Chain A
Amino acid sequence: MKKLAILLGVLLLVSMSVFAAGQTEAAGAAKTFTPSKNIDWYVTSSPGGGSDIFTRTIIDIAVAENLLNGQNVVVQYKTDGAGEVGRLLVSQIKAGVQADHTLLTFNSGDLMPMLKNTSNRFENFQPIAHMAVDKHLIFIGEYSKYKSFEEVLAALKRGERIVLGGSKGDDIACHAALIKEIGVTEDQFSYIAHDATSGAITAILGGHFDLLISKPAAASQYVEAGKIKPILALSTSRFPGNLNSAPTLSEFGYKNVEVPNWRSIVAPKSMSAEAVAYWTNVFKKVSETETWNKGYIEKQKLVPDYMDSETFRAYGMQFQKEYLASIGK
Chain B
Amino acid sequence: MENLQMLFMGFSVVLTLENVMVTLLGAILGLIVGAMPGIGSLAGVALLLPLTYKFNPTTAIIMLGSLYYANMYGGSFSAILLNIPGDSPAVMTALDGYPMATKRNRPGQALFTANSSSFIGGLIGMLILTFMGPLLADLGLKFGPAEMTSLLLVAMTSIGWLVGESPTKGVVLTLVGVLLASMGMDTLTGSPRFDFGNIYLLGGIPFTPFVIGTVGFSQVLKLMEERNKKVEANLNQKLTIKGSLLTAHDFKRLLPPAIRSGFMGTFVGVLPGAGATTGAFLGYAMQKTFKSEEPLGTGAIEGIAACESANNAAAAGAFAPLLALGIPGSGTGAVLLGGLMMWGLNPGPLLFTTNPDFAWGLIASLFLANILTLIIAVGIIPFLIQILTVPVRMLIPIITVVCVVGGYSTSNSMYGVIIMLLSGVFGYILDRNGYGVAPMLLAFVLAPLLESNMRKAFIISNGKLDIFFDKPISAFLLLVLFAIVLTPVIKFILRKAGVSKKK
B272 part of interface (Cβ distance < 8 Å): yes
Task: Specify which of A52, A76, A169, A209 is in contact with B338 (CB 8 Å cutoff).
Answer: A52
Q: Whole-angstrom distance between the alpha carbons of A83 and B202 in the complex?
A: 9
Task: Specify which of B49, B326, B459 is in contact with A190 (CB 8 Å cutoff).
Answer: B459
**Which size bracket describes the interface of A in this complex?**
35 or more
Known contacts A81-B203, A221-B347; A195 and B192 CB within 8 A of each other: no
Assess the A198–B144 pair: CB atoms within 8 A: no
B161 part of interface (Cβ distance < 8 Å): no
CB proximity of B416 to chain A, nearest CB, Å: 8
Residues of B within 8 A of A321 (CB): none
Assess the A192–B337 pair: CB atoms within 8 A: no
Assess the B143–A206 pair: CB atoms within 8 A: yes
Residues of B within 8 A of A196 (CB): 334
Known contacts A81-B199, A81-B200, A198-B334; A48 and B46 CB within 8 A of each other: yes
Q: Whole-angstrom distance between the alpha carbons of A221 and B347 in the complex?
A: 7
The total of chain B residues at the interface (CB under 8 A) is 53
Assess the A47–B202 pair: CB atoms within 8 A: no
CB proximity of A212 to chain B, nearest CB, Å: 13
Q: Whole-angstrom distance between the alpha carbons of A107 and B46 in the complex?
A: 21
Known contacts A48-B338, A118-B199; A82 and B185 CB within 8 A of each other: yes
Assess the B412–A192 pair: CB atoms within 8 A: no
Could you count the A-B residue pairs with CB atoms below 8 Å apart for me: how many are there?
141
Q: Whole-angstrom distance between the alpha carbons of A77 and B47 in the complex?
A: 10
Q: Which residue of chain B has its CB nearest to the CB of A118? A: B199
Q: Which residue of chain A has its CB nearest to the CB of B347? A: A221
Task: Specify which of B190, B335, B415 is in contact with A47 (CB 8 Å cutoff).
Answer: B335
Task: Specify which of B338, B339, B349, B462 is in contact with A161 (CB 8 Å cutoff).
Answer: B462
Within 325-350 of B, Cβ neighbours of A (below 8 Å) are at 325-328, 331, 334-339, 341-342, 346-350
B460 part of interface (Cβ distance < 8 Å): yes
* Most chain B CB inside 10 Å of its own CB: which residue of A75, A113, A161, A206: A206
Q: Which residue of chain B has its CB nearest to the CB of A209? A: B460
B38 part of interface (Cβ distance < 8 Å): no
Assess the A227–B412 pair: CB atoms within 8 A: no
Q: Which residue of chain A has its CB nearest to the CB of B141? A: A206
Q: Whole-angstrom distance between the alpha carbons of A117 and B326 in the complex?
A: 32
Known contacts A201-B327, A202-B327, A221-B346; A82 and B184 CB within 8 A of each other: yes
Q: A80-B415, A192-B459, A221-B326 are in contact. List 18 more A-B contacts (CB 8 A).
A: A46-B334, A48-B338, A49-B338, A79-B203, A81-B201, A84-B203, A85-B203, A116-B191, A117-B190, A118-B199, A161-B462, A198-B326, A203-B145, A208-B145, A208-B146, A208-B460, A222-B326, A222-B349
Task: Specify which of B50, B190, B203, B413 is in contact with A75 (CB 8 Å cutoff).
Answer: B50
Residues of A within 8 A of B462 (CB): 161, 187, 190
Assess the A206–B144 pair: CB atoms within 8 A: yes
Known contacts A47-B46, A192-B460, A205-B325; A80 and B337 CB within 8 A of each other: no
Known contacts A48-B339, A48-B342, A221-B346; A203 and B144 CB within 8 A of each other: yes
A220 part of interface (Cβ distance < 8 Å): yes
A303 part of interface (Cβ distance < 8 Å): no
Residues of B within 8 A of A47 (CB): 46, 49-50, 335, 338
